[in-house]
Structure 1
Amino acid sequence: MLSTTAQALAQRVEPRVPELARRMAREAFATLPGYAQLPGDIKDMEIAATARHGIRLFLRRVADPGIARADLRLFRERAAQRAEEGMPLHLLLRTHSLGMYVLWQALREAAGPGEEADLAELVDLLLASHHRVVGAVAETYVDERAALDADVRAQRRSLVRGLLDGVLPAGHVLLDELRLHGPASVLALRVADGAGPGSAPKRGPVAERRLQRRLQSALDQAFGTEVPALLEGDLGRAVAPGPGTPPDDLAARLSRAAGAPVRVACVPVAAPDEIPGAARTATEILRITRACGLPPGLHRLEDVLLEFHLSRPNESSHRIAALLDPLTDRPELLQTLRTHLAEGQDRRGTAATLGLHPNTVDNRLAKIAEQTGLDLSAPRGTALAIAALLLRDAARDPESESVDGPSPVRGAGGGPPSGPDAGPSSGQGPSVRP
């Protein structure tokens, strides 16, 4: 409880409340950077009203320190409004601090000789009250900004998804806002084998958000502009505005950001209406490069032209894919076939990759030929085997792990990765080619 003499000193300031609020809103705060740009009605009405409320709340607490201690509702409401309007947090907090200083000046002017102890009591209460007000204002402002930013991000993601899926209306304002009114590069990316859900513990929400932020930052820095992106788990799609090509080290940058190898497919477009088709093509390139055993890196359609063509579904697709049906219950034969093709049909390379004796590889290849009728020593048989493998993969989830066994670039027997997916790479590895 404050002394009666300190309370009497504070009561002398009561008649000056309207004047002090006007001084704060019109003069004192005008010295703060950015305050002059605020609309007049906000300064003369809302900010002045908040100043009056703050002064009167303090004076009521002088009379009874237990009253209205938690009455910070108006400060919170105003903080939420300022956050929504875009007032910088530093400017908002400075108005509260400067308002406290103006009130202190008024108390000092009202004090006479011999009232130093009473003035000290009032200043002590003023300082104790100020940190609660500033804390409530900052907390509310940050919460409101976080909610607003989350809404903006969700809306942006929805629009980018619509753009990639081909449901965004032509001429939408987003296209100009993100400079997507001309040429662009459409990307599909995947955190490569060894970092996915099938081979590493599932990331928690905090780790997931950190990964997305790092990948987004790496994309923005690589292209020197904001890159609209959808990043979900180990997968992502993005559209980089501009006619330029991705930097050659894009995959390496993303790999450093993710802390794991990243595979990227890129398809250039000349206009926004080409983006949905390019997004599908990029996703397909991503799938094919994994199925073909290419290492993580930056891939374009030119890298897998033959494989892309062979994997296109048509009236004969199911019959070609069915050529490998006899091997469905023999995953070790399918694995050997994949590896043999990825190794350029080098039996010793296949044996080394699988950890087998070359004679074992020969025996398995003979069984494959016997059960499927495919002659892997002839160009036609090799082409049919490539097409059958690609079409089998296309019939399943494009981003799922192969049910036929480990990737052909991995070691046998469930051992650690020994091929290109074991670490970042920007080079081109062996493709499944005749």
Structure 2
Amino acid sequence: MVSEAARALAVRCEGRANSLARKLSREVFDSVPGYAQLPAEVKDLEIAATVRHGVRLFLRGVVHPPAAADGYGLFRERAARRAEEGVPLHLLLRSYALGVHGLWQVIREEARPQESGAVAELVDLLLRAQTEVVGVVTERYLEEREALAAERASDGTRLVHRLLDGGLGPEDVRHADVDLAGPLLVLALGADHSAPADGPVGHRRRLRGLRTALGRVPGAGGFALLAEEPEGGDLAGRAVVSGCADVPPGLAAHLSEGYGATLYVAAAHARDPAGVPEAARTVVEVVRIARAGGLPAGRVHRLEDVLLEFHLSRPGPGSDSIAGLLDPVGHRPELLATLRSHLELRLDRRATAAALGVHPNTVDKRLARLTALTGLDLSSPRGTALALAAQLLRETRRPAEGG
């Protein structure tokens, strides 16, 4: 229950609501960093009106408790508007704190010497009300910021998908919210085979970290957009980064750190938006070849790095027959792994043995068994080329068929 003395003090204070609003909006709030840059109509109209509303809401709630249930509606509306305008949250909360301090000064000035108990009552109620208002304002502000961020992310995702797939026309490019002039760095990002298998939550967390890392690519001049791939796919995503005339040093390590696991990264440049779809198709194939060929993750691969493998893995009339050469050992993963490592390590049996953690003689026996089952003679140039083509076609044809 509120005492009669506290109610009487509140009634006297309400008469100063207008003057307090003017003082706060035109003088006191100027001490808050960034407040002076707000438009005059915001300071003189909206903020002043919010102060008057808050003061009267509190004081009338003291005189006629409880306060109206929807009294905080204006605070929510103003918080959403400030969030949309990009006003920092700290500025908003500081203005509310200064408003509470200003009302406390009015209470102190209006109080008579014998009303110390009433002052204590009002201050107690004021601090409780401040807690409620700060909670309401912060919650609504953050909700609006999250909604705006989600909207921008959705727009960016649609843009990059259309850019990558060739769906942007010249008119779209001219009216885009981001600079598409070029140069544009096109990336394909594939998870290493050793990356942990995450559920949906872990998958989204990794992509969120990757998207954040892309937004901080060193040397990027404009924007970085990620088009993520379906969960469980071979690729973590395709991306377009503006303003990068060269591949930034340490790019693969930077993106892998954001993703939380080592990534295969393939890169190609497009001079303008029209060149992005072809560059995107190329880098997707480069990542698949790098993975299939056992090339190291955690570095940037270009088409020039895998020209032979790229050519050998192109589908053609004989592709299925060449890939089928390894069908007799399809149920022998140790033989396929040995072949992959042996080709990657330039037919060095000792290096292959060290990579697989086996004795060199074991490598010899496995390769001999593979030759006996498939007819592929790795001691001849022709047999080695056939084995490389068969391995690449076998390991890349399923993803390629799936799009």
TM-score normalised to structure 1 length: 0.79
Deviation at residue 278 of structure 1 after TM alignment: 0.9
Deviations 1:136-182 (A, max 9, x none): 11121112111211221122122122212222333535886543312
Question: Does 1:149 pair with 2:140?
Answer: no
| Contact 2:209–2:260 (Cα < 8 Å) also in 1 | no
- How far apart, CA to CA, are the structure 1 residues paired with 2:353 and 2:126? 81
Match for residue 418 of structure 1? none
Paired residues for 1:162-181 under 5 Å = 162-172=162-172, 177-181=177-181
Given residue 275 of structure 1, which amino acid in structure 2 is its aligned partner? Answer: V
Higher RCO, 1 vs 2 (CA within 8 Å, ≥6 residues apart):
1
Task: Number of aligned residue pairs: give it.
Answer: 396
Secondary structure (helix, strand or coil) at the match of 1:396 reads helix
Select the residue among 222, 227, 230 that pairs with 2:218.
222
Question: Does 1:87 pair with 2:98?
Answer: no
Q: 1:174 to 1:83 in 2, by over 3 A?
A: farther
| Contact 2:29–2:35 (Cα < 8 Å) also in 1 | yes
Select the residue among 338, 341, 344 that pairs with 2:343.
341
Select the residue among 351, 362, 384 that pairs with 1:382.
384
- How far apart, CA to CA, are the structure 2 residues paired with 1:195 and 1:12? 69
Match for residue 406 of structure 1? none
TM-score normalised to structure 2 length: 0.84
Deviation at residue 183 of structure 1 after TM alignment: 1.7
- How far apart, CA to CA, are the structure 1 residues paired with 2:104 and 2:353? 85
| Contact 2:353–2:359 (Cα < 8 Å) also in 1 | yes
Deviations 1:261-307 (A, max 9, x none): 33211112222211111111111111111211211122111111101
Q: 1:291 to 1:53 in 2, by over 3 A?
A: same
- How far apart, CA to CA, are the structure 2 residues paired with 1:175 and 1:301? 32
Match for residue 414 of structure 1? none
* Identical-residue share of aligned pairs (%): 52
Match for residue 236 of structure 2? 235
| Contact 2:207–2:236 (Cα < 8 Å) also in 1 | no
- How far apart, CA to CA, are the structure 2 residues paired with 1:399 and 1:252? 30
Output the aligned Cα RMSD.
Answer: 3.2
- How far apart, CA to CA, are the structure 2 residues paired with 1:49 and 1:230? 44
| Contact 1:191–1:235 (Cα < 8 Å) also in 2 | yes
Question: Does 1:205 pair with 2:189?
Answer: no
Question: Does 1:110 pair with 2:110?
Answer: yes
Deviations 1:105-146 (A, max 9, x none): 333333334333333332232222122112211121112111
Higher helix share: 2
- How far apart, CA to CA, are the structure 2 residues paired with 1:358 and 1:145? 60
| Contact 2:207–2:228 (Cα < 8 Å) also in 1 | no
- How far apart, CA to CA, are the structure 2 residues paired with 1:190 and 1:155? 24
Match for residue 307 of structure 2? 305
Structure 2: runs of 5 or more not aligned: none
Match for residue 283 of structure 1? 284
Q: 1:82 to 1:253 in 2, by over 3 A?
A: closer
